[in-house]
A = this chain, B = another copy of it.
Amino acid sequence: MIAGVSTTYTIAVIGGTGPQGKGLGYRFAKHGHDVVVGSRAADRAVPVADEIRERLAGVAGAGEVSGAANADACEQADVVLLAVPWDGHDELVGALPLAGKTVVSCVNPLAFDKRGAHGQVIDGGEGSAAERAQALAPEATVVGAFHNVSAVLLWGEEEYVDEDVLCVGDSDDAKLVAMDLARAVTGREGVSAGKLRLARQLEPFTAVLISINRKYKTHSGLRITGLPDRD
Q: Which residues of A are in contact with B by a Cβ distance under 8 Å?
A: 115-119, 121-122, 124-126, 150, 153, 162-163, 166, 168, 191-195, 197-198, 200-202, 204-205, 207-209, 211-212, 215-216, 218-228
Contacts and interface: CB of A to CB of B under 8 A. Distances in A.
A204 B201 contact: yes
Contacts of A121: 124-126
Contacts of A220: 224-227
Number of copies of this kind of chain in the complex: 2
- At the interface, is chain A mostly helix, strand, loop or mixed? mixed
A198 B126 CA distance: 17
A194 B208 contact: yes
B212 A195 contact: no
B227 A212 contact: yes
A202 B121 CA distance: 15
